[in-house]
Amino acid sequence: MVSRLRVAVAGQGLHEFTDAVTRAVSEAGIDEGLCTLFIPHTSASLTIQENADPSAKQDLEAWLARLVPEDDPLYTHTQEGPDDMPAHIKAALTATSLSIPVVEGRLALGTWQGIFLWEHRDHRGARDVLLHVA
């Protein structure tokens, strides 16, 4: 069964939602399997990253912003604002889906790993993430 998670975002950056995925896996009641996450958006992505030290998150966000700057004069897709085309490029460079093993009823994440939605626009509100546990 596929469920939909709503992940709150407060603008560009990494937004952790590991707890919501952990709850969904627990509710699925399986001992071993796979948790698949998919984001149906072209300007946001998913990643597994360190969730212990906030400076790792800040460095990742700053690095991607330098790699794909806003207001590049070569962009032609600009109708939706200066953050739109960079958001599409950032999403293309990162991941739209994740697969995480479930072992003994729990996500098999490492000690310092968290699941993040990476919002690439100045969007505030929520994004949908589809989740399947089998």
- Tell the burial category of 37 from Cβ atoms under 10 Å away from its Cβ (0-12, 13-18, 19+): buried
CATH number of the domain encompassing residue 8: 2.60.120.460
Domain span at residue 38 reads: 2-71+80-133
Q: Which residues of 45-83 are buried (b: 16+ CB within 10 A; e: fewer)?
A: bbebebbeeeeebeebeeebeeebeeeeeeeeeeeeeeb
Number of separate domains in the chain: 1
pLDDT tens-digit map of 102-130:
999 999 999 999 999 999 999 899 999 99
- Tell the burial category of 117 from Cβ atoms under 10 Å away from its Cβ (0-12, 13-18, 19+): buried
pLDDT tens-digit map of 48-103:
999 999 999 999 999 999 999 998 999 999 999 999 999 999 999 999 999 999 99
Of 105, 100, 88, which Cα lies nearest the Cα of 34?
Answer: 100
